[in-house]
Amino acid sequence: MNETPHALSSAPTLWDLVARRAALTPDRPVLLQGDRSLTFGDLRTRSERVAAGLYAIGVRPGTVVAWQLPTRIETVLLSLALARLGAVQSPVIPFYRDREAGFALRESKAEFFAVPGVWRGHDHTEMARRLGAKGIFEAYDDSLPEGDPSTLPAPPSEGTSVRWIYWTSGTTSDPKGVLHTDRSLIAGGSCLAHALRLTPDDVGSIAFPYAHIGGPDYLVMLLLYGFPAVLFEHFALPDALAEYRRHGVTMAGGSTAFYSMFLAEQRKQPPGTRLIPSLRLLAGGGAPKPPELHHAVVREMGVQLTHGYGMTEVPMITMGDPEDTPENLATTEGRPPSGMEIRIVDGEIRLRGEAVCQGYLDPAQTAAAFDAEGFLRTGDLGRLTDSGHLVLTGRLKDVIIRKGENISAKEIEDLLAAHPLVADAAVIGLPDADRGELVCAVVEQPPDADELTLPEVVTYLRAAGLSVHKLPERLEVVAALPRNETLRKVLKYKLRERFSRPFP
């Protein structure tokens, strides 16, 4: 029987994919974690039992259920059980605390809240009570509610209703509740799987929080192509390497920070030794990728690296093709799938297609985010090449305006990434009475490296061809750049807060 995707109805649900895959390959593994594994058949059976348990405590189609759980088999089961019921689920990143979690609970009007109890030293149950959450229940290990599947109503019949509320990171303001349908999540995951040229023989890995928009994106790939993934509740190198090797992972990644961590571990290996012998592909997105990092990974790890562009509002916009040219893979974010329309308006990337969200919980935010023709304003700057590849050039809010001239922080960051004394860099604009903003480079150095100086940075950047008006006027060296806990994005607002100085 053919194990690659067949045509589905025009608006399938996520549960349609679960049932179809369980019928095709019931005995194949899908989720691997430690000594545990779950087959596609188990996935359907156990998810239905959990759905029945949820139904018994009052969860119905349309009921809003928030969950704040780590990346575990039980988390996937709970999420699929809610999908089976047609509930509206609101995943919350497990590292979030009172402010972000409380905001998500209030804005979504969640009627139930699933938590892991005490996890990594934090009492989520107590926090939920403190926040006044309704319907609190623990969903960790064997604590998932279960019941008789014969009591369940029919599964949802279409995938176009809003059944997902995801939350933007909220690094500079309150997060926004992003409204998704099964259809938009399936569109993102199917396009991602197709772009990466995956097969049933692959073994993937989920090393990021499953509560991230990338969670269902990845699950859709597993369901469509019938291969398993290794789950990591807590990802850290080198500790996680044993699991990658044990399960023969062929595809790993997450974001730019993950590539850097894998590369750093590769450099500790004896010459000629591959870090993960089975690995053939690193893939991810969520943050800019310096071209030099791409070339270093391919050269030193002996694997292909494909990077893409996505966001909470649109989980898959473009993706690199493993068979593309090295130049395109290093310097672009790949091409969009056929169902994604990209329009560049005054340098800003705007999007329309099946994978685009339905808007936000706040109608005013929805009205501001979409233009008159229904294109989502991303706030990202970019351009399309003659071959249709997308090149990101920065953020509307990440353009430094120095003496009236626009300067792209990303351009400088890409050049700094190739400096031997730079492990990672973030370039920010800081208020300046004379210039409006000055250019500040914040640098994280490799271990035991000689301290970098501003004159060295300026000399290096001038030799690399950077225009004089873009050269940094200030350098700050930090032990570690501040990052979020999901895809390890650099939090530039914290750098601006730390290094801004009041005008004299």
HEC string of 187-226 equals HHHHHHHHHHCCCCCCCEEECCCCCCCHHHHHHHHHHHHC
Q: What is the pLDDT of residue 6?
A: 42
Q: How confident is the model at residue 171 (pLDDT cuts 50, 70, 90)?
A: very low
Q: What is the pLDDT of residue 4?
A: 44
Q: What number is the average pLDDT over the span 176-182?
A: 97
The dihedral sign for the CA sequence 206, 211, 217, 219: positive
CA-based end-to-end distance of the chain: 74
Which domains, from first to last, does the chain contain?
40-180 (3.40.50.980), 308-399 (2.30.38.10), 403-499 (3.30.300.30)
Helices (H), 131-181: none
Q: What is the pTM of this model?
A: 0.84
Q: What are the pLDDT digits (tens) for 224-257?
A: 999 999 999 999 999 999 999 999 999 998 888 8
Going across the sheet that includes 88-91, the strands are: 136-138, 112-115, 64-67, 88-91, 162-167, 177-181, 359-360
Rounded CA separation 384/123 (Å):
47
Q: Do you find a cis peptide bond into 175, omega within 30 degrees of 0?
A: no
Q: Which of 40-44, 402-406, 490-494 has the highest mean pLDDT?
A: 40-44
Cα 369 versus chain centre, distance: 21
Q: What is the pLDDT of residue 141?
A: 87
Q: How confident is the model at residue 12 (pLDDT cuts 50, 70, 90)?
A: very high
Going across the sheet that includes 36-39, the strands are: 36-39, 29-33, 229-231, 204-206
* Closest CA relative to residue 80, chosen from 2, 130, 150, 17: 17
Three-class SS of residue 91?
Answer: strand
Q: What is the pLDDT of residue 466?
A: 86
Helix axes 73-85, 214-225, angle to 10 degrees: 80
Cα 370 versus chain centre, distance: 22
Flag whether pLDDT at 318 surpasses 60: yes
CA angle centred on 291, ends 285 and 297, rounded to 5°:
75
Provide the 8-state DSSP code for 235.
-
Provide the 8-state DSSP code for 141.
G
- Token pair 């990092």 is at which residue? 293
* Closest CA relative to residue 426, chosen from 256, 228, 253: 256
- Token pair 């990303």 is at which residue? 410
Percentage above 90 pLDDT, the chain: 79
- Token pair 């972000």 is at which residue? 100
The dihedral sign for the CA sequence 185, 187, 188, 194: positive
Flag whether pLDDT at 5 surpasses 70: no
> Which pair of tokens denotes residue 352?
């329309």
Rounded CA separation 180/193 (Å):
19
Q: What are the pLDDT digits (tens) for 395-448?
A: 787 778 888 777 888 889 989 999 999 999 999 999 887 777 899 999 999 998
Q: What are the pLDDT digits (tens) for 96-120?
A: 899 889 999 999 999 999 999 999 9
CA distances from 170 to 96, 103, 108, 175, 361 (A): 11, 10, 15, 4, 14
